[in-house]
Structure 1
């Protein structure tokens, strides 16, 4: 019965093989996983992995390293890759520009970088929607982490998630979720939406057992999804999937991120940044225990592999068979998954490590080029942001 699953799309697999960066272990045949098993950042090491499920990958991601700071971005697109790719190309640059203009990194600087990225993408939609009307329905979750001078800034839109692993009093590893899931499956999100839209009885609708905003989308915050934010981007009724029950009077989605700031402590050992494709199959605690129990090199790929094994188990199939399923069809079994694990070595945390190059590493696209952390070494921490 699984014969249809065992078809190998050679034309699809061939380009992905170019991106594989894996150590020789029991999974060197995981050609649909791109990974950078280990790399250096200003306060330690990182591990990075991506697996594709959609016909065109909608996850975009990046790690930016420099002597005095580290930036991580995970962008889980929906409706297409345009928004997540746009964020990858622009958000970090906005952050660096604003940091230099303000002379600091702060919560406001991070928030304004999100706002500038949203404004830029909506302008892009405005320019292109005549030729490509469904650009107005393309959006992306956006999870960002910045480590700078011993302080961690986390900003999040949507349901990607950042989790920190820290040592408890009994020397056991404990998971702490640093982000809030902006997803209508959460009761607190539904309550928030109802309080913001008291006159709209259809602001959240249970459809086929899934809570959706306006019966269409699960995430309540995103970059893009212009047709759910501005009336000018209303999509033609000939596309019923995006049809609203009544004209849009005010935005039902927002690009206002949740911000979390944390002065890193000696007990804090590592961070996991991942799109929701990982968290559909692993709990926070399961993920941190895996990271804590295995070597650093390849740990992001190990998390992805564990999630895929669990996805196969849920469908009562073998992991070996799941690996053979074509892209596109794979989306019925699991989502695109991006994982970045960032280890924190506290002896390096407050040092200026000139031996760490300024590199920009893009997930799955497999590019590594110069990054732009110039000027950060001379600016100071905004004490009001970390109090």
Structure 2
């Protein structure tokens, strides 16, 4: 029978921070270094969000550089829906990356402990440790995304002050670790990448799939669980998920956080996970909510971002371009909220002088520490968010931009990875694309649980 002895692999013991060392910092996420979630920029990224014409801005976004390690960056965009969608999106924004962090930290701790035990049975050179074979990073990150998303949805379900029965959020999240890109997403927020082709032209590569109810595999699962999928007569291009015996709630996506009224009928929170190796041809990544994709093609987005006068203004200019497209194409429709993250893969950003020249001062580029991070309030947090501009401010900015001709117009067709759906879907005139939850009397009167 073999004996086990504890040993220190590598000689000198190295002190390593564990997840418990970061708990106190995570209690106040707005103070975490290298994490931005309001309009502004980081070392390699810029982010911008603008309220639409459907009420409070329900979009949220985040860039977290030096996430776990110096060469790791976490980015995400979250689009809330339903009466408390803005709170759900913010809660997911603040909690999901911490869950990813916790899972990976726990895995590393267990691996380090297992490597300190050498079991011998007469052959001192035989290592029977179960983890002797190095796990592939893509498998580890895939498991991390799956378990973190599951834990996130479980926490929302049991949250004492956040009613997610008829409210939820999408999520498109990426982690860049060196030349590795790991992705996890649910709902219809999207990530694309700009890459140079053999002719040195920028093309758009779609990184995630819009998980809508009209996708055959999604519709099959929902129907198998007794849910129904169909579009209303006045919006035939928007498939929605409905309860088996009631024309409610009409969810316009097949996967989402929250929306527990439909979780027994085929709507899931299991992310679509993928991995990609970055090359020198890959230039930047854009994550955005569907307020962008409803009116702009993938290729148009790439051209707008690449033509921005400064990198730090790229996200703002993209949102401005989408706003003009909403007004031009669908003047009677309510513009959706827009949230954008632009991450430049060479890790470079503009100088401070360039930012000031194009209207970004140091003050406007700082994160908004006053925003409610955790959604703990029993009532929806309805104070005006500094990242959301009033209609007067929006109209003033639009007038100024028209005078200065700052707009960058894109053209051309999108070149994407193979996805079995229409990449250029746009909202119908006179019809809002939001969930019909808030329009149904039985759901609109619900109050948050205390």
Q: Give 3-state SS (helix, strand or coil) of 2:274's partner.
A: strand
> Which shifted more, 297-306 or 45-54?
45-54
CA contact (8 A) 1:164 1:178 kept: yes
Partner of 2:307: 293
- 1:192 to partner: Cα distance: 3.4
CA contact (8 A) 1:74 1:160 kept: yes
Q: Distance in 2 between matches of 1:310 and 1:157?
A: 26
> 1:342-381: CA deviations, max 9, x gaps?
0011799xxxxxxxxxxxxxx9972399xxxxxxxxxxxx
Partner of 1:192: 218
Partner of 1:50: 49
Q: Distance in 1 between matches of 2:217 and 2:65?
A: 39
> 1:162-221: CA deviations, max 9, x gaps?
00000000000010111010112x4xx145322553484x62122132321125111000
Please give the TM-score of this superposition, normalised by the length of structure 1: 0.66
Question: Is the aligned partner of 1:256 residue 2:290?
Answer: no
Judging changes above 3 Å, is the alpha-carbon distance between structure 1 residues 333 and 197 closer, same or farther for their aligned structure 2 residues? closer
The one of 96, 104, 115 equivalent to 2:101 is: 96
Judging changes above 3 Å, is the alpha-carbon distance between structure 1 residues 365 and 226 closer, same or farther for their aligned structure 2 residues? farther
Please give the TM-score of this superposition, normalised by the length of structure 2: 0.57
Partner of 2:42: 39
Q: Distance in 1 between matches of 2:367 and 2:94?
A: 12
CA contact (8 A) 1:82 1:138 kept: no
Partner of 2:258: 224
Partner of 2:90: 85
Judging changes above 3 Å, is the alpha-carbon distance between structure 1 residues 69 and 255 closer, same or farther for their aligned structure 2 residues? same
Q: Distance in 2 between matches of 1:72 and 1:302?
A: 19
1:18-33 to structure 2, matched below 5 A, reads none
- 1:293 to partner: Cα distance: 2.4
Which runs of 4 or more aligned residues in structure 1 lie more than 3 Å from their structure 2 counterparts after TM superposition?
none
Question: Is the aligned partner of 1:145 residue 2:180?
Answer: no
Q: Distance in 2 between matches of 1:35 and 1:347?
A: 18
Q: Distance in 1 between matches of 2:274 and 2:265?
A: 24
Q: Distance in 1 between matches of 2:225 and 2:295?
A: 36
CA contact (8 A) 2:59 2:338 kept: yes
The one of 94, 113, 118 equivalent to 2:148 is: 113
Q: Distance in 1 between matches of 2:185 and 2:318?
A: 21
Q: Distance in 1 between matches of 2:55 and 2:218?
A: 34
Q: Distance in 1 between matches of 2:274 and 2:164?
A: 31
Q: Distance in 2 between matches of 1:191 and 1:91?
A: 26
> 1:50-109: CA deviations, max 9, x gaps?
001242221121111112211111110001222112102210110101111112651111
Judging changes above 3 Å, is the alpha-carbon distance between structure 1 residues 180 and 293 closer, same or farther for their aligned structure 2 residues? same
Partner of 2:24: none
CA contact (8 A) 1:138 1:224 kept: yes
Partner of 1:71: 74
CA contact (8 A) 1:59 1:75 kept: yes
The one of 178, 182, 186 equivalent to 2:211 is: 182
Partner of 2:231: 206
- 1:39 to partner: Cα distance: 2.2
CA contact (8 A) 2:181 2:278 kept: yes
Output the aligned Cα RMSD.
2.6
Higher strand proportion = 1
The one of 300, 321, 327 equivalent to 1:306 is: 321
CA contact (8 A) 1:194 1:203 kept: no
Partner of 1:275: 289
The gaps in structure 2 that reach 5 residues or longer are 1-37, 109-136, 350-364, 372-450
Q: Distance in 2 between matches of 1:135 and 1:107?
A: 26
Judging changes above 3 Å, is the alpha-carbon distance between structure 1 residues 135 and 196 closer, same or farther for their aligned structure 2 residues? closer
Q: Distance in 1 between matches of 2:348 and 2:316?
A: 26
The gaps in structure 1 that reach 5 residues or longer are 1-33, 230-249, 318-331, 349-362, 370-387
Pick 1 or 2: higher relative contact order, CA cutoff 8 A, min separation 6. Answer: 1
Partner of 1:122: 157
Partner of 2:368: 366
- 1:112 to partner: Cα distance: 1.0
